[in-house]
Chain A
Amino acid sequence: MTAATGAASILPMIAIIDYKAGNLTSVRLACESLGLEAHITSDSAEILSAERVIFPGVGAAGAAMGHLNELGLAAVIRTVVANGTPFLGICLGTQIILGHSEEDGGVDTVGLVEGAVRLFRPTDPLVKVPQIGWNTVKQTKGHPIFAGIEDESEFYFVHSYHPEPSVTSCILGETEYAGVTFASVLGRDNLVATQFHPEKSGRIGLRLLQNFAEWNGKE
């Protein structure tokens, strides 16, 4: 075995969960640019055997939850998290790991973190929904996912709803928009989740993905 393949074998295999909730190309491309082996998959066995799992997604919570149940993946996600595999939620993926969403008239979601997902309701008509663009993340709790990332760095957000966990101890980072300070990074045990898109957040976002790939799932 050459040194090069020896080094490559240390890198964890990442499963990117495909549940028909938007385009996953940029997540895969971001992983590949870091030299990480990443597979877009909806296969339970592949997800359960992966060394890292990314749960992305854009779109509406109701349809996404429907697809997740049809594919039998809600149970798979619970198992992955219970097994201690490092798990990263992104955007809609983050919202779905809470217990309930206001979207689509109210949807019960996976419930790995207690709390709900609320619509932005700005009082100022010049504050637009969805929030689209780069906003600051205040790191409220130290975590390996933030290694080498300066506090108050900007990340790329696209969303109309925001996480509202009922347990504040799981809040790792906060962001202000439309008159609320919301949890933009959540974490407990082997699970972390970001409302923003690290895969589209330039070099700083790549650093967060790399931190995730190197993280053993323990705080």
Chain B
Amino acid sequence: MLTKRIIPCLDIRAKRVTKGVKFKNNVDLGDPVEMAAKYYEEGCDELVFYDITASAEGRPIDIEMVAEVARAIRIPFAVGGGISTLADMSRVLLAGAEKVSVNSLAVQNPNIIAEGAKAFGSQCIVLGMDPLAVDDPERCPSGYEITTRGFRVRTGMDALAWARRAVELGVGEIVVNSVDADGTRAGFEIALTKLIAENVPVPVVASGGAGNAQHLVDVFEQAHADAAIIAGMIHTGDTTIPALKAELAAAGIPIRHRW
């Protein structure tokens, strides 16, 4: 049986893992390669790295870090932040990443999705989206608007329409990161995740709001997420991946149990 994936997310700023709430108040959590190796040993199913300042600083992603991570772990990982061209994608994939994640830059230039999927295969191209709950039925009939640049820019684009368009363009997976739930550790935004998961044919990864095992059970059972991103709850040591997996297994969620 296909298992539900648990994916720790590492936000990178100046070669360090940081964690903020809604992209603010960032605190230093450690070295990215050491943390990746630790979570790999503990049995996480995949990892994702966001170079959160690359895009704002207009510089390419830190390739040396990607290569070091690739040497340290033997599970898939995705990399996002500062990826705007096919050449950027190629560098990240050749350094050993399994997938690249595009977000703001795909909103500006949707064709990068099609070009990336054609060059490297759909399975390599992940769309990250940061939807915000809005009451604007005319522009955003799904009730969610796409934001970019770390939630700072509202695009007027409907989240569900964008998800469908991205699938047509060739994304292989969609990470749905709720702006409203991000960093709150109060649970995933179930309605948003369910809306996207029920309406696209590709796997959907829930993101934003994970605080305990029950939040993951809820997003898998009620919102049909294929995978869930976790961050603060493990970075701070409040729980560990083995403890989390044991709770999920006890709740009847199919998880990878040997590593």
Interface, chain A (partner B; CB < 8 A): 22-23, 25-26, 29-30, 33, 58-60, 125-126, 128-136, 150, 153-154, 156-158, 176-177, 197, 199-206
Contacts and interface: CB of A to CB of B under 8 A. Distances in A.
B193 interface: no
A135 B70 contact: no
30 contacts: A23-B93, A23-B94, A25-B70, A25-B96, A29-B96, A33-B74, A58-B121, A58-B123, A58-B124, A125-B198, A125-B201, A126-B197, A128-B203, A129-B202, A132-B123, A133-B2, A133-B3, A133-B4, A133-B227, A135-B1, A136-B1, A150-B258, A154-B3, A154-B257, A154-B258, A158-B76, A202-B259, A203-B74, A203-B259, A205-B74
B98 interface: yes
Contact of B120 (A23, A30, A150, A205): A23
A202 B74 contact: yes
B168 to A, nearest CB: 15
B95 interface: yes
Contact of B202 (A22, A59, A128, A203): A128
B229 to A, nearest CB: 14
Contacts of B93: 23, 25
B235 interface: no
A133 B1 contact: no
Interface in B180-209: 197-198, 201-204
Contacts of B178: none
B122 interface: yes
B81 interface: no
Contacts of A25: 70, 93-96
Contacts, number: 97
Interface string B1-45: 111110000000000000000000000000000000000100001
Contacts of B94: 23, 25
B158 interface: no
B1 A156 contact: no
Contacts of A33: 71, 74
A64 B123 CA distance: 15
Nearest to A22: B121
A147 B131 CA distance: 47
A179 B234 CA distance: 35
A19 to B, nearest CB: 14
Interface in B199-249: 201-204, 224, 226-227
A59 B96 CA distance: 16
A200 B44 CA distance: 12
Interface of B: 1-5, 40, 45, 70-71, 74-76, 93-96, 98, 120-124, 172-173, 197-198, 201-204, 224, 226-227, 256-259
Given A25-B96, A132-B173, A202 B70 contact: no
A188 B2 CA distance: 27
**Closest 10 A/B residue pairs (Cβ):** A59-B121, A134-B256, A154-B256, A25-B96, A128-B203, A135-B2, A23-B93, A158-B123, A202-B259, A134-B3
Contacts of A204: 258-259
B120 A22 contact: yes
A202 B203 CA distance: 22
B238 to A, nearest CB: 24
Given A126-B197, A154-B258, A131 B2 contact: yes
Contact of B198 (A30, A59, A126): A126
